[in-house]
Amino acid sequence: MRTVNPTTNEELRTYDLDSAAAVEGTLDRAADGFVAWRETPITDRQERVAAIADVLRENLEEYAALMTREMGKPLDQSRGELEKCAWVCEFYAEHAAEFLQDDHVGVHPEATTKVAYEPLGPLVAVMPWNYPFWQVLRVAAPTLAAGNVMLLKHAPNVTGCAKTIEAVLDDAGFPDGVFQTLVVEPETIHDVIADDRVAAVTLTGSTRAGSAVAETAGKHLKPSVLELGGSDPFVVLDDAPIDRAVDVGVDARTKNNGQACIAAKRFIVVDDVYDEFRDAFVDAMADLTVGDPTDPATDVGPMARDDLLDELDQQVKETVDAGADVVLGGEPLDRDGNFYPPTVLENVPGDAPAACDELFGPVASLFRVPDEAAAVALANDTEYGLGASVWTSDDARAERVAGELEAGAVFANDLVQSHPRLPFGGVKRSGYGRELGEQGIKAFTNEKTVWLSPPDGLD
């Protein structure tokens, strides 16, 4: 595995792939580790999860710099990601026992009937590069607190982050075999998922990758959770707070260099306020500084890999060839590194990539619609359904429209985001299952019905 600094395209480090024997040893340690870890009192497991937060904060600057070197996000955003990781660990350290306590259900006055939540076993987590610490720890915190163990297959370009996360959990006192990293090619992970020692799988990534992993998991009858791509609509109605919508919209499209599954991608604006929103939005996008992500003045850093830059450039070119207009940006910057500028497209045809596909970079597509009904229809006219936002000054209208939007999460007058206390996931081709919240910790448990009748039976 080779990691490259996307700001300079200079090689950072190479890592040896795990041999077949090494993978076999990792699976054995996971199986053995699970036997002991599931019997560890949950209070002890919670203490270890809480200790992750301590290690992260003690080494925050070191880990943030690593993240920025490997995938290019602005350094301050790397710090913010680590703080959020510490938060999710503290959340499950506080609430895991509460979430996993038995649910007692009254069925018969002489019987004890309950639902118990028991761990399944080793979990394979296939994780992406765009939030290299958060994506892993938002799964690891609840999974490990619940008594499962975890095998991480991270994206190759953030292998350094993967190795560091493993070291973090070691420093936090987790026993051998509870959290391990696999450095393997993508095709190898299917053999790992199929292995009898593996109980379940979770993936965050592209729809194509999710479909392949789901096929393998389904063939072997193993539960899976998939958090896949998105083409989130950002719906601006005629009574929207335009100034705030513009500010949040720019952030929603360019945060993490535009490389987020829940980034706002399709800006659907009703005709009455389209020109006002468009002009302010374009000006705000043009004011962003593109540059070295270690520079505090930088708003947008490089794309994480050169192939991702090429793919985004091709999607924009195809959209323009189909008839769209470039209002701002529209081509890679002529400098070292994988830099693509904040870009705004309008008059996007309905069959163009910017309307149909996920553009994973700082490219916003504007759509003018006549009214609310047309806005909702266009927002739902996609194969994706991860997040959505609606902008209006009317609370009742916001709640009604939120109910009409087809997505796993809808935010009114705010940025679509994941939150430790709330379930997170998508519908349609954005995946299935939920992470975070109470739902996230129960996702990989056996919801076991327990019925205890007295020795002499029930009357």
Q: Give the separation between CA 264 and CA 185, rounded to whole angstroms.
A: 31
- Tens of pLDDT, residue by residue over 421-443, are 999 999 999 999 999 999 999 99
269's enclosing H/E stretch is: strand 264-270
Residues assigned a catalytic role: 227, 261
Average pLDDT for 332-354: 97
* Domains of the chain listed by start with CATH number: 2-228+426-451 (3.40.605.10), 232-412 (3.40.309.10)
Q: Give the separation between CA 435 and CA 42, rounded to whole angstroms.
A: 20
Average pLDDT for 222-234: 97
**How many other C-beta atoms can be found within 10 angstroms of the C-beta atom of residue 161?**
26
pLDDT at residue 308 above 90? yes
Q: Give the separation between CA 112 and CA 391, rounded to whole angstroms.
A: 49
Average pLDDT for 13-36: 98
- At 106, list the tokens: 């009254």
Q: Exposed/middle/buried for 56, CB within 10 Å: 0-12, 13-18, 19+?
A: buried
Mean pLDDT of the chain: 98
Q: Give the separation between CA 184 and CA 1, rounded to whole angstroms.
A: 8
Q: Give the separation between CA 84 and CA 64, rounded to whole angstroms.
A: 12
Q: What is the DSSP letter of 180?
A: E
Overall pTM surpassing 0.95 (yes/no): yes
pLDDT at residue 331 above 90? yes
pLDDT at residue 459 above 90? no
Which has the closest alpha carbon to 366: 250, 193, 453, 192? 250
Average pLDDT for 135-152: 98
254's enclosing H/E stretch is: helix 242-254
Taking each helix axis from N to C end, the angle separating 271-286 and 242-254, rounded to the nearest 10 degrees, works out to 50
Beta bridge partners of 172: none
Average pLDDT for 88-114: 97
Percent of the chain scoring above 70 in pLDDT: 100
Sign of CA pseudo-dihedral 63, 65, 68, 69: negative
- At 155, list the tokens: 């994206």
Beta bridge partners of 225: 202
Q: Is 436 left (phi over 0), alpha (psi -120 to 50) or beta?
A: left
Distances in Å between the alpha carbon of 150 and those of 34, 202, 269, 344?
Answer: 9, 10, 44, 41
- At 119, list the tokens: 């761990």
Q: Give the separation between CA 459 and CA 99, rounded to whole angstroms.
A: 33
- Tens of pLDDT, residue by residue over 252-270, are 999 999 999 999 999 999 9
Give me the count of residues in the chain.
459
Percent of the chain scoring above 90 in pLDDT: 99
- Tens of pLDDT, residue by residue over 272-287, are 999 999 999 999 999 9
Which has the closest alpha carbon to 208: 71, 311, 362? 311
Q: Give the separation between CA 28 and CA 416, rounded to whole angstroms.
A: 40
- At 157, list the tokens: 């370009």
- Tens of pLDDT, residue by residue over 165-216, are 999 999 999 999 999 999 999 999 999 999 999 999 999 999 999 999 999 9
